[in-house]
Structure 1
Amino acid sequence: MAKMVLLAQYLSINANALAEYCNKAELSVEVEEKDITSYASLGWKEVLGGLKSAELACEFKQDFAATKLDSIMWPLLGTVVPFEVRADQAAVGASNPKYTGSILIKGWNPLEGSVGDDASAKMSFPTSGVVTRAVA
């Protein structure tokens, strides 16, 4: 089994490559569980998959300078924008698939932390519509 250490994830939000600000990106995808149990199930629960949903969770290292992270993310608040994430910044391929779709920028935490902490922002964005996986 191949093993991998994440050293150079790629993250793009609204066509902005944000890897220089990001130290964690997680894409989680799930399907609703719909109970279709009937008396014919003989006492066993039966389920089918329902609606799919996903979430992109990121941890950013904040930068307030002009044209940097805060000035990129702040105007996106409340909008649905495209995203792309992959395990490595290398070219997309069979061993480095890309996951793309759209996310709702439902919030932005420009300031977070305590005395002595690094200026970081932990955010989660729900997807809107289809998330795709591609190797080319």
Structure 2
Amino acid sequence: MAKSVLLNSYIAINAGDLSAYCSKIELKAECEDQDVTTFASGGWNERLAGLRSFELGLGFKQDVAAAAIDSIMFALLFTVVTFETRLSNAVVGTSNPKYTGSILIKEWTPINGSVGDVAELDVTFPGSGALVRATA
């Protein structure tokens, strides 16, 4: 199994490459588990997958300059937009799949920190619709 270190990951939101502002990416997919246990289950719980969901967590270094991350994200606030992310900014392929879908930009924290801190923020955007993995 190949191992990797995240050095040049890629994140685009609303078709704009935001990798230069991003220092953390976490893409998480999950499903609700539905209990389908019956008397015939032999005393064991039985589960099936229910509704599926995903969320995209990002860590940004804040920049409030004109046309920088703050103005980009603030303009998208409260809208559903597309995203694409991959482990590396290299070409998409079997060794570098891309993950795409739509997310709700439901939050933005333009100022966060204490004296002497790096101006940065962590956000989590819920998915809207399906998460897709592709190698081409």
TM-score, length-normalised on structure 2? 0.99
**Aligned equivalent of 1:42:** 42
3-state secondary structure, aligned to 1:106: coil
For 1:129, what is the secondary structure of its paired residue?
A: coil
- The aligned amino acid for 1:29 is A
Instruction: Give me the whole-angstrom Cα distance separating, in 1, the residues matched to 2:3 and 2:75.
Output: 39
Query: C-alpha separation between the residues in 1 aligned to 2:79 and 2:109?
Result: 16
Structure 1 gaps of 5+ residues are: none
Superposition RMSD in Å: 0.5
Give the Å deviation of 1:42.
Answer: 1.2
Q: Residue 74 of structure 2 aligns with which residue?
A: 74
Partner of 1:98: 98
Distance, in Å, in 1 between the alignment partners of 2:129 and 2:54 is 9
- CA offset digits 1:77-127 (Å, max 9, x no partner): 100000001000000000000000000000101011100000001100000
Please list every run of at least 4 consecutive aligned residues from structure 1 whose deviation after the TM superposition is greater than 2 angstroms: none
Cα distance in 1 for partners of 2:26, 2:87 equals 10
Amino acid at match of 2:7: L
Match of 2:88 in 1: 88
Structure 1 residue 31: Cα displacement: 1.2
Note the residue ranges of structure 2 that are not aligned, 5 or more in a row. Answer: none
Match in the other structure for 1:112: 112
- Distance in 1 (CA, whole Å) between partners of 2:72 and 2:78 is 13
What is the match of residue 19 of structure 2? 19
- By how many angstroms is 1:14 displaced? 0.6
Number of aligned pairs?
136
Match of 2:29 in 1: 29
- Which whole-Å deviations, capped at 9, do the CAs of 1:42-92 have from their partners, x for residues lacking one? 101000001110000000001111011001000111000000010000000
Separation in 1 of the partners of 2:121 and 2:12? 16
